[in-house]
Structure 1
Amino acid sequence: MQAPTGNAATVPPQQSGTAEQAAPEPAAASGPGATWWIWAMAGTLFLAYTALSLRIHEHLLSHSFDLGIFVQVVRSYADGHLPVSEVKGPDFPVLGDHFSPILAVLAPLYWLWPSVKLLLVAQAALVAASVLPLAFWARRTLGSAAAVVIGGCYAVSWGIASGVAYDFHEWAFAVPLLAFSLTALGSGRLRAAAYWALPLVLVKEDLGLTVAVIGVVIAWRGGRRGRRLGLVTAAAGLAAATLAVLTLASFHPGGFDGYFASHNPGGGADSGSDGGFVELLHQGTLGLITPQEKVTTLILMLAPTLFLALRSPLLLIALPTVMWRLASDYPAHWGTSYHYGLLIMPIVFAAFIDALHRRGASGRSLYRYLAGSAAVTLLLLPHFPLWQLVQPATWQTDPRSAVARSVMAEIPDGATVQASNNLGPHLADRTSVSVYGWGDSRPDPEWIIVDTKVAPNHRWPMSVRQELIALDFARIRGYRTVKEKDGFVLLSRKG
């Protein structure tokens, strides 16, 4: 899988006018026989990512926020209408939440396999595909050993691992697009870099800013002929970001005020916090590095590259994503959990390859860098979700999962349901499901299903005591107990 090559608008890095001259590319054997192992590596990673995410789902560890939301979005597109999500609220228009029309490309696949598992498999395929351009570029510029080490370190890096293990997210589409764009940019194929970058504006509203920075780097590295292409790309990114925000505000039930209030990282309109960049202005630049968790995350972003990524201008492309995370007052944005590292990893490792190439690393110096990168990656590996693949518990059958499926089977297709956060994804592809106990859920559903034994760290939004009180109150209001087994409680309004 090769990125399309540019034409006369592209120039090799050594002609870009930058201070550092690119090292000559090593000769490498060409043809399918010389590169089959890169394709095999991507295929193996696809199987590993798929296995991990499906096992997590089967163990009832996926979430209505966000997997349940996204399957409802894809299901909406497959049904031929604009996306809505019951998890977000009754008939909530998702284009008023995030601008991610690229999710519509999954609709034809959903016609063939109408299952929540489709999204997990699709994410695994997209992320695994992102290894290809990085490994091929490393092989062309640094040799096969670099392709093996850098491709492998990227593939098992903490950002990729955390993203694959936490549900599905639209950012999965951005990962290969970024990898192909930055590979083309680092190779001097500027037009190809712009072509791969532009679809990012369809992934999420903030990625227009990322496209804008890619355009700036194209203009910087492209000399006179690349300057126009870069400025056009940057302008397109900014225009797309502006249009996306206008679209979001027009779809959101509360308009501009409702959209910006709902995206206050601190908790919405009633949080009592300004949040985001307004809060940052109050704190000054110190707010970018406090609390300490932010600094730790920044260090972990760069440590697998031995901080050499700082020597490449490609790292500038991470600035929009890094800045909004650091400026946020929502603690989940500061750390290494969830999916927030997905966008960073292809940028950091592309910058790593670029930095090594520009430094002319070869021989012993190159092997030292590769060994250091591998050592840091292996040191971090046991602390992140891909390590679960070698844990026996991951592959053991959970008896409660079978009970859950048997209880959920009592709920007919098309019914309105309120379910525990961890059960919602298992119902989202065939019912109209929302989260039990969440204030914005559709009231008085036909069915209620609750997992009263869910682990405390996975319990949301109610405590055990609140949940039991709510179930008793539901029975008073006319719900009857249909089934109760191993902590799963199923109630119905039907006689």
Structure 2
Amino acid sequence: MLGLFVQVLVLMVYALFVLETEMLSSAFISDQLRDSLVHLLGGSVRGLPDGTEVVVSLPGAFLASLLVSLLLNGLNWGANRLRSLGRRQELSHIVLLNALWTLPIFVWIGMWLSRSVSTSFAIFTAGVVNIVLAITLAGWGKVLLLPNEAVQIEVDTSPERKRRDWKFLLLAMSLFTVTFVWMNWALWYNVRIPHGDSVMYEEHLWNLTHGKGFRSYLDQGLFLGEHIQVIHVLLVPLHWLWPSHLLLELAETVALALGAVPTYLIARRRSGSSHVALLIACAYLLYFPVHYLDISIDLKTFRPISFGVPLMLWAINAMEQKHWKQMVTAFVLALACKEDYAIVIAPMGVWCIWNEWTNSRKRGTSIDRKTLAIGATTAVVSTAYLLFVVKLAIPWFRDGETVHYARYFEAFGETPTEIVLTMITNPQLLFMELVTVGAVIYFLRLIVPLGMPIRGWSQLLVGAPVFILLCLNNLAMQPPGPYHHFHAPLVPILVWAKCVVIGSAIESASAMNRRAVWIFSCAFSTSLLFSFSPLSIQFWDPGQEMYWRNQYVQDERARQFRKVLEKLPQSARIASTDYVHSYLTHYERSYDYSKYPRAVADYEDKVPDDTDYIVIDRRHKYSRGEYDDLDLIRELQREPEKWDLLPDETHGYFAILKRRKPAGE
């Protein structure tokens, strides 16, 4: 009874704190769903003069917490009776285990009550409110999935078991692929995918195969002036057969799903168990930072950097077996995904040297000089490649200008050299920018979904340089967490550390199984709270922006856009607002219509002089209100004699301007 009382009390207090504070509840659910829950529990919401809302009372919180606790314990007890391999656990023991797993929430409650200690402490406490719940849910999941931790489990190495686990893995990969391909394609058909940093990569292939160069007309020239990122050129043969952005979305999702295969192989080799390896590979597919590589927080759905994740995992798998040719091939392909991978490949070379040295000492054998040479070469060459790209290659394609992403580190300077020198000569500034609440939250959101694999510390150190850059990157920290694409080079390193943790459980098969179940439970619980997939809360929350009906069901705006395409000849040169721009890349020219200065318009606030049409999306959330009055459109204000506003057949969703032809044409 004491365990049940602790569960109910902790859950009730936690629910009260979360629901009464809008800032905390928004970490889980929308305001709309929060209000519904409050009213369901018999409470009421009162607005304050500062615009915030507080819950006045919540009389049903105790009953709800009691029901959740009874359901949880009953489910675990029933699963234990059905699946126990030996002595069954008593109900009281299960209740006690579940009560112990409320400890993270209990600690958080104490932190929240003490939040007045400092502003930073209060921000941190609010920032981990969903992380502590994820840990508790993972603990409950572990109790549910493990019928009896005291039972010793033998490793089943039979061919039948391996074949069965491979089939389960292929099924999991297929579910991942079908789900995310559907989501990506639905966003496309609903006109939700931006051109910049997404569809522009398909434009590269179209322009390349039509004699316009490896570029998008967003760029000041060839795309190589932005990044040395060419891996998607390998899709050209398929793109000839199917010239569509949907091809790129399919390829990216399949590539990310294939990352489960080397993950499985690494985990199986280290654990000797195909079942443990299956759990680890499935945890990779549930790892929510992987989901955000497929569809980022700002709905950018295709990034070539994502192809580097499975390639780096294959490289790690080859490296551990000393298959050096395979490793080097995978490294080269990963560098073609983006130069950022050099920042993890160089430390991996150093790790090879350190690992060979420590292992030779443990074995009492001589050091393999070939391994040392390959490790040193990897570290030196990848470092030299990064310097070459940042200091020479990209600036050369930019007519001598520095790399554009230097502005992400503007606190330290304007050029890469200036940034590095400031970091070295001003360690106080570096410390202040690096050691922040946001950095700690970012770190937790990376490692908690993998069961906090701290035992794989040497692997984690390989990823340390990338993590430091992420913490100093202004854009990557908005919000702090793996929600954009910058964390891609870290994902294979963290997955590697997860596999190493499993392999360190050499004392028994049961210990490996427990750790694998824990990692799987952490991946599942964090996917529930942080992801946007059908497993997540926000996918089903009607008040969330990522609610499935909002994003994946074709709305009136998307239907009206079809009328716009009917008015545009294929030979036209078109300037358009983002999102609409994504559909116009196969026309003669496809320009960006915005206030951002572009090279194709001589960096002036205008469209290029050869523009035939302008298409404006008036109802997208980023356009709403800006184009309500069509008379205020820039071209109609400055050059009304050159442009005609075509009759609106889209019920106000879009506006089309057509350039008048000069007299005599």
Name the TM-score class by shorter chain. 0.7 to 0.9
Choose the corresponding residue for 2:201, options 63, 67, 70. Answer: 70
How far is 1:96 from its partner? 1.0
Matched residue type, 1:214: M
Taking a change above 3 Å as real, the CA distance of residues 162 and 279 of structure 1, as seen in their structure-2 partners, is farther
Counterpart-to-counterpart distance in 2, 1:287 and 1:28: 53
After superposition, what is the alpha-carbon deviation per residue over 1:403-457, rounded to whole angstroms, capped at 9, x for unaligned? 11221332222422221212111212335223212332432421111111111xx
Match of 2:445 in 1: 300
Choose the corresponding residue for 1:379, options 516, 525, 542. Answer: 525
Matched residue type, 2:166: T
1:406-485 mapped onto 2 (5 Å cutoff): 406-441=563-598, 442=601, 443-444=607-608, 445-455=611-621, 458-459=622-623, 463=626, 469-471=632-634, 472-473=636-637, 476-484=640-648, 485=650
SS in 2 for 1:85: coil
Match of 1:207 in 2: 341
Choose the corresponding residue for 2:653, options 459, 481, 487. Answer: 487
Is the 1:135–1:148 contact (alpha carbons within 8 Å) kept by the matching residues of 2?
A: yes
Match of 1:341 in 2: 487
Taking a change above 3 Å as real, the CA distance of residues 435 and 266 of structure 1, as seen in their structure-2 partners, is farther
**1:251 maps onto 2:392 in alignment:** no
Match of 2:385 in 1: 240
The 10-residue stretch of structure 1 (261-270 or 323-332) with the greater mean CA deviation from structure 2: 261-270
Match of 2:506 in 1: 360
In structure 2, the gaps of 5 or more residues are 1-154, 358-366, 541-546, 602-606
Counterpart-to-counterpart distance in 2, 1:288 and 1:26: 46
Match of 2:177 in 1: 46
Is the 2:449–2:526 contact (alpha carbons within 8 Å) kept by the matching residues of 1?
A: no
Counterpart-to-counterpart distance in 1, 2:455 and 2:587: 48
Matched residue type, 1:56: L
Q: CA RMSD in A?
A: 3.3
Is the 1:154–1:346 contact (alpha carbons within 8 Å) kept by the matching residues of 2?
A: no
Matched residue type, 2:288: W
How far is 1:310 from its partner? 4.9
Match of 2:78 in 1: none
1:217-236 mapped onto 2 (5 Å cutoff): 217-223=351-357, 224-225=367-368, 226-236=371-381
**1:87 maps onto 2:221 in alignment:** no
Choose the corresponding residue for 1:315, options 460, 465, 476. Answer: 460
Is the 1:424–1:435 contact (alpha carbons within 8 Å) kept by the matching residues of 2?
A: yes
Rg larger for? 2
How far is 1:230 from its partner? 0.9
Is the 2:618–2:654 contact (alpha carbons within 8 Å) kept by the matching residues of 1?
A: yes
After superposition, what is the alpha-carbon deviation per residue over 1:466-489, rounded to whole angstroms, capped at 9, x for unaligned? 987335426725221224324211
Match of 1:265 in 2: 408
1:103-118 mapped onto 2 (5 Å cutoff): 103-118=232-247
How far is 1:218 from its partner? 1.8
Is the 2:169–2:282 contact (alpha carbons within 8 Å) kept by the matching residues of 1?
A: no
Match of 2:130 in 1: none
Counterpart-to-counterpart distance in 1, 2:596 and 2:328: 43
Counterpart-to-counterpart distance in 1, 2:292 and 2:583: 21
After superposition, what is the alpha-carbon deviation per residue over 1:321-355, rounded to whole angstroms, capped at 9, x for unaligned? 21221122334484332222333222211111112
Match of 2:90 in 1: none
Matched residue type, 1:491: L
Taking a change above 3 Å as real, the CA distance of residues 80 and 241 of structure 1, as seen in their structure-2 partners, is farther
Counterpart-to-counterpart distance in 1, 2:177 and 2:567: 34
The 10-residue stretch of structure 1 (146-155 or 259-268) with the greater mean CA deviation from structure 2: 259-268
Counterpart-to-counterpart distance in 2, 1:266 and 1:34: 46
The 10-residue stretch of structure 1 (66-75 or 429-438) with the greater mean CA deviation from structure 2: 429-438
Counterpart-to-counterpart distance in 2, 1:104 and 1:77: 9
Choose the corresponding residue for 1:102, options 231, 238, 254. Answer: 231
Matched residue type, 1:259: T
Counterpart-to-counterpart distance in 1, 2:219 and 2:445: 33
Taking a change above 3 Å as real, the CA distance of residues 60 and 240 of structure 1, as seen in their structure-2 partners, is same
Match of 1:124 in 2: 253
Is the 2:409–2:472 contact (alpha carbons within 8 Å) kept by the matching residues of 1?
A: no
The count of aligned residue pairs is: 463
Counterpart-to-counterpart distance in 2, 1:277 and 1:351: 29
The 10-residue stretch of structure 1 (321-330 or 174-183) with the greater mean CA deviation from structure 2: 321-330
In structure 1, the gaps of 5 or more residues are 1-24
Match of 2:360 in 1: none
Match of 1:164 in 2: 294
Taking a change above 3 Å as real, the CA distance of residues 240 and 261 of structure 1, as seen in their structure-2 partners, is closer
How far is 1:273 from its partner? 13
Is the 1:191–1:229 contact (alpha carbons within 8 Å) kept by the matching residues of 2?
A: no
Taking a change above 3 Å as real, the CA distance of residues 145 and 294 of structure 1, as seen in their structure-2 partners, is same
Matched residue type, 1:153: A
Match of 1:58 in 2: 189
After superposition, what is the alpha-carbon deviation per residue over 1:357-415, rounded to whole angstroms, capped at 9, x for unaligned? 02326444334323332333233224322237766515533222111122133222242
Taking a change above 3 Å as real, the CA distance of residues 333 and 206 of structure 1, as seen in their structure-2 partners, is farther
Counterpart-to-counterpart distance in 1, 2:474 and 2:421: 10
After superposition, what is the alpha-carbon deviation per residue over 1:74-129, rounded to whole angstroms, capped at 9, x for unaligned? 2233235641221234xx22111111122221222211111122211111111111
Choose the corresponding residue for 1:153, options 260, 274, 283. Answer: 283
Matched residue type, 1:125: V
Counterpart-to-counterpart distance in 2, 1:82 and 1:130: 31
Match of 1:177 in 2: 311
Matched residue type, 1:109: L
After superposition, what is the alpha-carbon deviation per residue over 1:150-206, rounded to whole angstroms, capped at 9, x for unaligned? 222211222111111132111122111111112233455455434422322222223
Counterpart-to-counterpart distance in 2, 1:181 and 1:26: 28
SS in 2 for 1:146: helix
Larger relative contact order (CA 8 Å, sep ≥ 6):
1
SS in 2 for 1:454: coil
Match of 1:11 in 2: none
Matched residue type, 2:459: L
TM-score by length of 2: 0.63
Is the 2:252–2:306 contact (alpha carbons within 8 Å) kept by the matching residues of 1?
A: yes
Is the 2:185–2:246 contact (alpha carbons within 8 Å) kept by the matching residues of 1?
A: yes
Counterpart-to-counterpart distance in 1, 2:177 and 2:446: 23
